[in-house]
Amino acid sequence: DAGITQSPRHKVTETGTPVTLRCHQTENHRYMYWYRQDPGHGLRLIHYSYGVKDTDKGEVSDGYSVSRSKTEDFLLTLESATSSQTSVYFCAITTSGRDEQYFGPGTRLTVT
Amino acid sequence: QQQVKQSPQSLIVQKGGISIINCAYENTAFDYFPWYQQFPGKGPALLIAIRPDVSEKKEGRFTISFNKSAKQFSLHIMDSQPGDSATYFCAASNNFNKFYFGSGTKLNVKP
């Protein structure tokens, strides 16, 4: 599992509240990613990071922000949660050669 | 616009049969094509991957066939087993910065 943990694993929140999801890795990988998974859409990239304080947008970045102040932590923030952001969120890393991508266990987020 | 198109959406195969899942892409800059296997409640796991300089890669019962001119690649699972029942995703990447995934294929291997 490349030493990736995600917290929380499950969360229920109300529309309009801010939510922060955390991804933690123990193996000092440079590249980290946040995806959301929805039925019929596969995995869609939200944001990714290529180093501390270096981030870039993915396909579905609207309504999301990220921060990476330490190599091991990549945070995903929903600034004002909406029901359309109900999803399973996966964090991932790529290895040093950037040719293998490994995923965390996921966070199931429900926005009511 | 979906960068990688995957078919079929679902697949039922008898034990011992061959499972075939297809993907197509448009961006000729893609240079890495992995396949992932996902069981319910788990994150996707890298299964096998190919680069466009070869037309086929085999690992055990899993084979990727790659057709660069047609911009298509496929996963073949030989001697399919009930334990192979999972959702499979193809993906494509350009220089490993961003990965684009297909919509997934739910495989059910019947005993």
Residues A41-50 pLDDT 10s: 889 999 999 9
Which of B39, B99, B105 to probe by mutation at the A interface, max A CB count within 10 Å?
B99
pLDDT at A64: 97
- At A48-84, the pLDDT tens digits run 999 999 999 998 999 999 999 999 999 999 999 999 9
User: Is residue A39 within 8 Å of A100, Cβ to Cβ?
Assistant: no
B89 contacts A45? CB cut-off 8 A: no
pLDDT at A41: 84
Whether residue B27 lies within 8 A of chain A, CB to CB, comes out as no
A44 contacts B102? CB cut-off 8 A: no
d(CA B60, CA B40): 23
Touching B: A residues 33-72, CB under 8 Å: 33, 35, 40-45, 48, 50, 56, 58-59
- Nearest C-alpha neighbor of B24 from the set B90, B83, B87, B77: B90
Residue A61 sits at φ, ψ, to 5 deg, of -85, -15
Q: Is residue A91's pLDDT more than 80?
A: yes
Whether residue A3 lies within 8 A of chain B, CB to CB, comes out as no
A90 contacts B43? CB cut-off 8 A: yes
pLDDT cut 90: percent of chain B above it: 88
Q: Residue-wise over A48-86: b if at least 16 C-beta within 10 A, else e?
A: bbeeeeebeebbbbeebbbebeeebebbbebeebeeebb
Kindly state the tokens that stand for B19. Answer: 């499972």
